[in-house]
Structure 1
Amino acid sequence: MRLLPTAALIASLLAIPSARAQELTGTLKKIKDGKVVTLGYRESSIPFSYVTKAGDPIGYSIDLCNAVVDEVSKEFEGVEIAVKYKKVTSETRIPAVRSGEVDLECGSTTANFERKKEVSFSPVFFVAGTKLLVARSSGISSYRDLRDKTVVVTAGTTNEAAVRAISDKQHLGIKFLVGNDHAQSFDMLKEGKADAFATDDVLLYGLVATTKSGDLYHVVGDYLSYDPYGLMYRKDDSDFAAVVDRTFTRLAQSRELVQLYNKWFQQRLPSGEILDLPMSPQLEEIFRVEGVPD
């Protein structure tokens, strides 16, 4: 039987296994071969990525990562993929992703130019900026009040560079302490070892909301940096990047992206606190560009 050219082409395509099935590479191949995807989580990046009293990772970023896992599972029909969680810190997160120890980092990581030289990022899902957390009794209301004072920052974050730049430009003589994670940095402030804790504003609000003595502290000052957040994965992995981007498009077009934001920033957290942080105009516009309908 003679086939028309178009029909013959269709028949030949149907007879050939998909390129995806034949040529899995990078992260997708690693996940399928091992039947497990490893997600990096943080212990105290509230409400993005933190742990319950039982030690289970939860948060806005964790939910987004699990949505990516669901999309990955669609790539492997009939193959059950397990989820493994691996704790990372601000210092270990990039090495963990690059080495393959973690497939997708679910935290509060700024997608900046320097980091994009080493890793790749999902579409932006939050916009934060460096601010200061201080005791209400401190008399500090902005960086201008930090002359010759001590600021604690968390190791491996972009916030130290932002505060150092201000200190150098304004000749403030700020001294620095470094905490291993956000919880330890906050402890240094509470113990009086530092006069201010500098990190992304939303993380400060989360720490204050979930701390018994939170009423004694408040977030002050102007934004000292611009920090768009993305989920982090290995660089030069176009197949996995396509899955991540497709996940965000689906979440945006269904408005689930907005629903997840409201779940973690407008409603009560599992521990009972509420951040009550409306979505910023900048993030609203970013979500519209990503596909959220008006």
Structure 2
Amino acid sequence: MLPETPQLEAFLAVATTLHFGRAAERLHVTQSTVSHRIRKLEECVGVALFDRSHRSVQLTPAGVAYLKRVSGAVRDLDRAEQDARAVGSGRQGRCVIGYSGAASCTPLLDALEAVMPALPQVQFELQRRALLEQLDAVLSGELDLGSSFLPIPGGREGLEVQAVAALPLRAWVAADHPLARAERAPLSALAQERWIVLSDRAEAGFSSFLRRRGGGGQAPPIEADALDATFDLVRRGLGITVLPATPVAPPGVRGVPLVGLPAAQLSVFWRTGPLHPLVRALIEPADRSQRGPQAQPEGDGHPEDQRQQPR
């Protein structure tokens, strides 16, 4: 039978004060309670830990050996309790978040920016994965939270899904492109353009999602596996791309509002069960941003639009 924590605390108090009365004062209990706990501990260990044959209380050799081990063990127990409370409250721990290419500039990252200063002991890790990989990783526990602009496929038990943002789609073109000064454009206006698409590996089918709605152009698309590479190719005039609106357009690139397309809806998903406190801390500000001005960016890349964008 393992000793109970109050018994160990009584042992440490008596061992350091060598006095049952002072130990009781330190623990805020009666002296008889301390004596009872020490007797129970000695019964559990099977040897006498204190020599009470003289006026003063002394540790036995067995008590000296026990003290060396127990003092560190009790400190570890205290730390374990503190760590458990910190993790349980969301003030400490590790949170692994999955995202795909087009979801890398979204209210989810705004939520991260909002909560991170208050959680300096939390280790946040972002992993870029395709949607199907994210779904499997969330169910297996590798990811605490997944996110995507694509519809989350049904038929998967054990997942909770929540929409947190709806961002209008933009046709991103070079600053000197003929469409760069258009107030808006239909998707059909891009039919003769060479498209630059995030590869399905990176974006989990976002490009396929657009092609099913009439986008894609006549020429074979250029595939890029990163968002910054996509915008760099657009800036160089090598093609155009369609992605959700961002608060500030990348340099040398203009976002033209598209008509006739629904907004891209960002959803987050997590494993069914008790909600990870760090996930809750992220979902709540991200969900609030859906109802605020950041959820519906009105800027299209002009400098004057950028000044009006909330941050």
Structure 1 match to 2:207: 160
Structure 1 match to 2:105: 46
How far did residue 229 of structure 1 move?
1.7
1:15-26 alignment, distance < 5 Å: none
1:125 alignment partner, SS class: strand
Alignment check: 8 A CA contact 2:111 2:282 kept: no
1:249-268 alignment, distance < 5 Å: 257=288, 261=292
CA shift digits 1:143-195 (9 cap, x unpaired): 22223421122232554134312338xx963532222121111112123332x
Structure 2 match to 1:62: 112
Distance in 2 separating the partners of 1:212 and 1:130: 18
From 120, 127, 134, the equivalent of 1:87 is 127
Q: What's the TM-score, normalizing by structure 2?
A: 0.49
In the superposition, relative to structure 1, how do residues 136 and 119 fare at CA in structure 2: closer, same or farther (>3 Å)? farther
Alignment check: 8 A CA contact 1:128 1:226 kept: yes
Structure 2 match to 1:228: 265
In the superposition, relative to structure 1, how do residues 128 and 135 fare at CA in structure 2: closer, same or farther (>3 Å)? same
Structure 2 match to 1:145: 189
How far did residue 127 of structure 1 move?
0.7
Distance in 2 separating the partners of 1:181 and 1:86: 14
Structure 1 match to 2:145: 104
Distance in 2 separating the partners of 1:97 and 1:41: 12
The answer to whether residue 234 in structure 2 is matched with residue 189 in structure 1 is yes
Distance in 2 separating the partners of 1:251 and 1:41: 17
Structure 2: runs of 5+ lacking an equivalent: 1-83, 180-184, 298-304
1:68-83 alignment, distance < 5 Å: 82-83=122-123
In the superposition, relative to structure 1, how do residues 191 and 251 fare at CA in structure 2: closer, same or farther (>3 Å)? closer
The answer to whether residue 125 in structure 2 is matched with residue 125 in structure 1 is no
1:221 alignment partner, SS class: strand
Alignment check: 8 A CA contact 2:194 2:217 kept: no
The one-letter code matched in structure 1 to 2:125 is Y
Distance in 2 separating the partners of 1:218 and 1:126: 19
Alignment check: 8 A CA contact 1:60 1:264 kept: no
Taking only the aligned residue pairs, the percentage that are identical comes to 13
Cα root mean square deviation, aligned = 4.8
In the superposition, relative to structure 1, how do residues 95 and 113 fare at CA in structure 2: closer, same or farther (>3 Å)? closer
In the superposition, relative to structure 1, how do residues 188 and 130 fare at CA in structure 2: closer, same or farther (>3 Å)? same
2:162 alignment partner, SS class: coil
Structure 1: runs of 5+ lacking an equivalent: 1-27, 50-58, 71-80, 267-272, 279-294
Distance in 2 separating the partners of 1:251 and 1:87: 20
Distance in 2 separating the partners of 1:227 and 1:40: 18
The one-letter code matched in structure 2 to 1:102 is L
Alignment check: 8 A CA contact 1:142 1:222 kept: yes
Structure 1 match to 2:275: 240
Alignment check: 8 A CA contact 2:186 2:259 kept: yes
Alignment check: 8 A CA contact 2:107 2:289 kept: no
Q: What's the TM-score, normalizing by structure 1?
A: 0.51
In the superposition, relative to structure 1, how do residues 154 and 223 fare at CA in structure 2: closer, same or farther (>3 Å)? farther
Distance in 1 separating the partners of 2:116 and 2:207: 31
Alignment check: 8 A CA contact 1:134 1:219 kept: yes
How far did residue 126 of structure 1 move?
1.1
From 99, 108, 114, the equivalent of 2:153 is 114
Larger Rg: 2
In the superposition, relative to structure 1, how do residues 152 and 88 fare at CA in structure 2: closer, same or farther (>3 Å)? same
Distance in 2 separating the partners of 1:118 and 1:243: 22
How far did residue 129 of structure 1 move?
3.8
**Larger relative contact order (C-alpha < 8 A, sep ≥ 6)?**
1
The one-letter code matched in structure 2 to 1:186 is F
